[in-house]
Amino acid sequence: SQTIHQWPATLVQPVGSPLSLECTVEGTSNPNLYWYRQAAGRGLQLLFYSVGIGQISSEVPQNLSASRPQDRQFILSSKKLLLSDSGFYLCAWSVRGQGRRYEQYFGPGTRLTVT
Amino acid sequence: SQQGEEDPQALSIQEGENATMNCSYKTSINNLQWYRQNSGRGLVHLILIRSNEREKHSGRLRVTLDTSKKSSSLLITASRAADTASYFCATVTNTGNQFYFGTGTSLTVIP
């Protein structure tokens, strides 16, 4: 069966510090991968998605970047965190390909607080 | 940017009552999905309805889709306290690669 891992679960970082959040998927190949941010009490904002190794699409201009060094690994980074980067970050994957069901499977999330 | 908008933002009902949540979206879609999120957790997929479908059932869940109005509704029948959570609709583009989530409805079921 498929499993998605995200770490760390919680993170407190000072303004200006770097960030690296990691997401890995097990039990599937060639997934689409996604990073979302959820502000407190709000919906999910799609940040990045990837359809393959090294292929990253950014949805909104921001202080963050994403990379996909391996098929089932997705990394969210920042060189210098801002207060506005605080939030709940969720990684997700979905099956790629025409005619497939497109449901997404979410990781447990990382709660980031920038102080 | 987020494509869907749910209403109401918050809903409080007694156990056993039905809960209805609505979702509106802006552009053409391949399908629309509903997800559930318990506080501080990841989202869990509930049900998917394709753009050529009008209604779908799964257990106590009933979803409708009106593509002419660009809207969908989720009905939870005979609600239980365990249904307390936030519910989000998500639309999937025709490429199948991009998901856009709504702002969510927070449902509280009072025992």
Q: Give the burial string for B34-44 (b: 16+ CB within 10 Å, else e).
A: bbbbeeebbbe
Q: How confident is the model over A5-50, as pLDDT tens digits? A: 999 999 999 999 999 999 999 998 899 999 999 987 778 889 999 9
Which tokens hold the place of B77? 């029948």
The chain-wide mean pLDDT, for chain A, equals 90
- Say how far apart CA A66 and CA A49 lie, in whole Å: 9
> Which chain B positions have a beta carbon within 8 Å of A51's beta carbon?
97
Assign B96 a pLDDT band (cuts: 50, 70, 90).
Answer: low
Q: Please indicate whether residue A83 or residue A2 has the higher confidence score (pLDDT).
A: A83
Look at residue B102 in the predicted model and tell me its pLDDT. Answer: 87
Which tokens hold the place of A50? 């990837």
User: What does the DSSP assignment read for B20-75?
Assistant: EEEEE--S--SEEEEEEE-TTS-EEEEEEEETT-SEEEETTEEEEEETTTTEEEEE
Tell me if chain B has a CB within 8 Å of the CB of A5: no
By Cβ distance, the residue of B42, B48, B101 closest to A109 is B42
Q: Please indicate whether residue B3 or residue B11 has the higher confidence score (pLDDT).
A: B11
Residue B97 confidence (pLDDT) above 80: no
Q: How confident is the model over B64-87, as pLDDT tens digits? A: 999 999 999 999 999 999 999 999
Cα angle A37, A112, B10; round to 5 = 55
